[in-house]
């Protein structure tokens, strides 16, 4: 009888430890997220299921072209791409991204840009000074984010710069649907 009681207690302890570890991993390290909308096409599709690494930005900083999840409002998280980091001046002129006055290639949007008809711009011209906040350069602990589908994205052009405090983490794995399974890199 005592042997069965000890075995039962061992199972309860194991389940409690497993549950506690799952909560810690979910809260502090990784979280699942589902894409809602077309703002990151063609990179991410509506309904894609991904894993967000929360730990990266606890020990490091966002880098240009990371795909990040951030708290846009108290109820809604957005997924966008980091375009500008602290100290940068960002502008787009004639569909060309300029960081600190130098043109920067954006290979992740080339296919989408080529689909545009005629003289229609893929990304409307803007400069950092014209965005909410009117900054000359991105201040410390802030990033400028844009969706890959520039014509259909609520991003820094409307929201302003995103503070590090708003960042949930970096998207690192697309796991569903299975035919699109891949690791996400900037």
pLDDT tens profile 142-157:
999 999 988 888 999 9
Q: What is the pTM of this model?
A: 0.83
Q: 23 in a domain, yes or no?
A: no
Q: 6 in a domain, yes or no?
A: no
CATH number, domain containing residue 62: 2.10.109.10
How many C-beta atoms lie closer than 10 Å to residue 174's C-beta? 21
pLDDT of residue 9: 77
Q: 2 in a domain, yes or no?
A: no
Rounded to the nearest integer, the mean pLDDT of the chain is 86
pLDDT of residue 184: 85
Q: 11 in a domain, yes or no?
A: no
Q: Is the pLDDT of residue 21 over 80?
A: no
Q: 20 in a domain, yes or no?
A: no
Q: 142 in a domain, yes or no?
A: yes
Residues serving a catalytic function are 39, 80
How many domains does one find in the chain? 1
Domain residues for the domain of 108 are 30-183
């Amino acid at each position: 009888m005592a042997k069965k009681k000890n075995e039962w207690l061992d199972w309860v302890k194991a389940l409690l430890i497993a549950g506690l570890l799952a909560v810690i991993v979910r809260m502090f390290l990784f979280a699942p997220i589902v894409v809602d909308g077309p703002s990151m096409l063609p990179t991410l599709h509506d309904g894609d299921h991904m894993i967000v690494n929360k730990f990266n930005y606890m020990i490091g900083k966002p880098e240009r072209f990371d795909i990040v999840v951030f708290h846009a409002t108290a109820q809604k998280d957005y997924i966008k791409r980091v375009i500008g980091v602290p100290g940068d001046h960002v502008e787009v002129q004639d569909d060309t991204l300029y960081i600190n006055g130098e043109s920067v290639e954006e290979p992740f949007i080339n296919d989408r840009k080529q689909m545009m008809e005629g003289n229609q711009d893929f990304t409307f011209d803007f400069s950092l000074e014209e965005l909410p906040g009117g900054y000359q350069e991105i201040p410390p602990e802030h990033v400028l984010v844009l969706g890959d589908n520039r014509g259909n994205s609520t991003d820094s052009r409307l929201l302003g710069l995103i503070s590090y405090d708003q960042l949930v983490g970096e998207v690192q794995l697309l796991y569903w649907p299975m035919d699109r399974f891949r690791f996400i890199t900037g």
